[in-house]
Structure 1
């Protein structure tokens, strides 16, 4: 039976999360789940994550994997919460250690915080094969946005591309975060676009232009024909020049500071301090 996929849009962060499964009662994977965060109040909620919980329970699915495409800068991950509610292994690419090392220094995290990815249950090597129940899957290393970005090929018919590609009329993700690199991004994108034209690509975000509703799925063929940043005929030098110029004018994502501190911990909050309260840090004049 072919893979089934259900998309969940979080309007606040324009993030798509996904549940991938074979049929009712089968194993499943949850990709890039969102934890609601009210920055003004410093409060988390589980409204978006509970939509996924309800779907999983309604379809009697068994969560095998909680897959992160990277340590997101625009939303907090709900992977830790969902593992507690539904089970499964939280997984990310093994180069997450590079991201952890940078942000441990920036946020002056506690000495006990380890930069070896051990906060996650599984670290994927590049091109590592794995199973979602009976569905064959592969973890593709696609650095550029960050050093640790992964895309997930499932059933040879779909790829969860994370922040590497957006819809064709939106283009591609920024490459100016620590460890990001536009040359690497171009190589990663061409790796994805080397798959057959019919392969479906599911994006992590959509920022639609006026007049278009949000969408989550495109195809390799559509991207090669129409992506405004990286369609066929645009070479690496032109892409890198465009990407670097655009990135120089972008502001930081609204939730970057809280999101990174949580997401390098696999969605767990920092340890409570001596008064029993958990804190997130704001470095001043560092970014």
Structure 2
């Protein structure tokens, strides 16, 4: 059976690499405390833009928040005279809070995420004992994306690809010749994403990454995180499909599915939970909004014990 969404994505990349379409402009913003990269992707001709995977700064010990990272995005968008059409999440992150509502208030744009966010909401609504007032239908977002959906950033198409494994809801976005992987794979010297969160599946991740590696070799690959692999002095977040396919330490050519699953399962068993997983998921399953205030006007995040 033909993988039509992937074929659409390949066509987009080839149009740029063959010179019949222009590439998007990509500007990266790295948040070192959470090792997260936010991207502003724009059409240089029309000045239309999308923001992918924003960060709302949160100090876990004090419970205080700030928009320093988001304000850097706002400043860039305004300085470049960009118009934001889309604010995109690759998934409901477990390591940082999303600044999407703040950016939407400042810059406009529609907020979108993969349709399987409803699965994530269902799981974590139970973990956090959310009441019936918490909707589990994804309605906190403006649009839920299916595999193969196409959005426009000015005159440059974006193809959404469903790439489950890290979570059930992960999406990757192909914009012209640029691939935004979310939490599927990382720099070639660091490997792949963990699969031990609720709904994660190493078999699914293997197939998702192999699907992405079918894109043309020249595809620019933009990673969601970097943690500086051993022996590397600097953070890095841009690669290529050729580099990932031939040199990714976890999932390069020649690594079969069983080998990958065995490696990923053993490795995940040694990893601690992300420091911000409990606050992050309570906020991110709400599309970046905090829980409603209680009768004293204060908002609270729950800390369930002995569950994760």
Q: TM-score range by the shorter chain?
A: over 0.9
TM-score (norm 2): 0.92
Question: Is the 1:24–1:61 contact (alpha carbons within 8 Å) kept by the matching residues of 2?
Answer: no
1:144-199 CA deviation, whole Å, 9 max, x = no partner? 000000000001x1110001010000000000000000000000000000001100
Partner of 2:157: 136
Higher strand share: 1
**Counterpart-to-counterpart distance in 2, 1:69 and 1:135:** 19
Determine whether 1:167 maps to 2:174: no
Determine whether 1:146 maps to 2:171: no
Number of residues of Structure 1 aligned to a counterpart in Structure 2: 286
Give 1:24 deviation, angstroms.
7.0
**Counterpart-to-counterpart distance in 2, 1:211 and 1:98:** 37
**Counterpart-to-counterpart distance in 2, 1:22 and 1:11:** 27
Give 1:88 deviation, angstroms.
0.5
**Residue number among 172, 181, 198 corresponding to 1:178 in the alignment:** 198
Structure 1 stretches of at least 4 aligned residues deviating more than 6 Å after TM superposition: none
Question: Is the 2:48–2:82 contact (alpha carbons within 8 Å) kept by the matching residues of 1?
Answer: yes
Determine whether 1:279 maps to 2:305: no
Q: Larger deviation: 23-32 or 90-99?
A: 23-32
**Counterpart-to-counterpart distance in 2, 1:25 and 1:34:** 26
Question: Is the 2:113–2:144 contact (alpha carbons within 8 Å) kept by the matching residues of 1?
Answer: yes
**Counterpart-to-counterpart distance in 2, 1:47 and 1:161:** 24
Question: Is the 2:226–2:236 contact (alpha carbons within 8 Å) kept by the matching residues of 1?
Answer: yes
Question: Is the 1:24–1:59 contact (alpha carbons within 8 Å) kept by the matching residues of 2?
Answer: no
Unaligned residue ranges in structure 2 (runs of 5+):
1-21
**Counterpart-to-counterpart distance in 2, 1:12 and 1:117:** 28
TM-score (norm 1): 0.98
Give 1:2 deviation, angstroms.
2.1
RMSD (Å), alpha carbons? 0.9
Question: Is the 1:96–1:117 contact (alpha carbons within 8 Å) kept by the matching residues of 2?
Answer: yes
Question: Is the 2:25–2:43 contact (alpha carbons within 8 Å) kept by the matching residues of 1?
Answer: yes
Give 1:211 deviation, angstroms.
3.3
